[in-house]
Structure 1
Amino acid sequence: MSRLTAEMTEFLAQGVAHQLGACDAQGWPHICRGLAADVEPDGRVVVLLSGASGFELLPAIRASRHVSAVFVKPQTFRALHLKGRDAEVFAAGAAWRPLLERRRAAFDAQLLPFGFSPENTSAWYSVPDAELLGVRFTPYGGWNQTPGPGAGAPVALA
């Protein structure tokens, strides 16, 4: 099983922006903003999102089990792209709220130097527990998506 390196796992905690994507059965792409990410002890990546915001994406993931995730650090534009083909959607709820709040604080800290206060992100993170869902997947590939000469190059997973 592929796993993220320790450095990649640490990167997910640094206040990154999250985007999840998948295609439906007709091949149409669907994208949704994620809210928080972490790596479970078994190496699977979890990305939290709003069920309401993911109303098109989540059925595509459930049907295909394929997912693409991009994580970007706003202050540096460093970006990591991961793909999985065993994705599952689960009800995260209140049990995952502490992770969501830690990642929100880190993301808000990334945005402060650009003049964006925590109030600017409050709508994204004000997800009721009943609508807080997670997507869990094993990364099978990773790519550097940081703008510049190395963009698109594969990155080694552990």
Structure 2
Amino acid sequence: MAAQGYATPTDDQETWREASPPPGRLPVHLVAFVQGGVAPILGVRGINGRPIVGSAVACRVREMSVLRLFLDCARNAPLLEAVSAGSAVAATFSRARDHRSIQVKAASALLCEAEPGDLTEIARQCAILSDELVDLGYTRSQAQAYVAFDPTCLAVVEFRPDRVFTQTPGPGAGAELRR
């Protein structure tokens, strides 16, 4: 990223071009970003055609190509129903300190079970985000409430991204990241 201390869409575009990931694989920097204590948001189209948005608590990447987002079952029931019915998905990952944001899209996703090690990784990512929020002026209790989740009520939404976009605020936001 640029030395100015904040992220820009141009930074995202340059970093993507320099990474040159193999077809079907995500670049290392993107994998690190989505697993680095960011705030993930998942959007789908509901059964009635209207948009539904939900907050995830973390994301794990498998095989450098499959994103696994963890969501609270109770708060996201309509969203999970839409995924189950075959909705396309759009996941946006935003970093609190500089608003760097990346969006990935896929034509469909699957509902899956949690795997060994997921809870440890979710807790690690939530701790990073919580500490960052405290650094930005949130109280510790506010930051912990923001990242709180019930480990007994997690759903896993899994998909392979078809397209990746920079959503970092500034000129060029919304541009697709391509080789």
Q: Deviations over 1:76-115 (max 9, x none)?
A: 1100000112311123277521011011011112211222
> Which residue number corresponds to residue 19 of structure 1?
41
**Residue of 139, 153, 159 corresponding to 1:131:** 153
Q: Distance in 1 between matches of 2:74 and 2:115?
A: 13
Following TM superposition, by how much is the alpha carbon of 1:132 offset from its aligned partner in structure 2, in angstroms? Answer: 1.1
Q: Distance in 1 between matches of 2:78 and 2:140?
A: 27
Gaps of 5+ in 2: 1-22
- For these two proteins, the number of residue pairs brought into alignment is 157
TM-score (norm 1): 0.89
Q: Distance in 1 between matches of 2:29 and 2:53?
A: 26
**Residue of 80, 93, 105 corresponding to 1:71:** 93
Matched letter for residue 170 of structure 2: G
> Which residue number corresponds to residue 40 of structure 1?
62
Matched letter for residue 19 of structure 1: I
Q: Contact between 1:50 and 1:133, CA under 8 Å: does it hold in 2?
A: yes
Aligned-pair identity in percent equals: 27
Gaps of 5+ in 1: none
Q: Distance in 2 between matches of 1:45 and 1:58?
A: 16
Q: Distance in 2 between matches of 1:30 and 1:38?
A: 22
> Which residue number corresponds to residue 122 of structure 2?
100
Q: CA RMSD in A?
A: 1.9
Q: Distance in 2 between matches of 1:42 and 1:78?
A: 21
> Which residue number corresponds to residue 80 of structure 1?
102
Matched letter for residue 88 of structure 1: L
Q: Give secondary structure in 2 for the equivalent of 1:130.
A: coil
Following TM superposition, by how much is the alpha carbon of 1:26 offset from its aligned partner in structure 2, in angstroms? Answer: 2.1
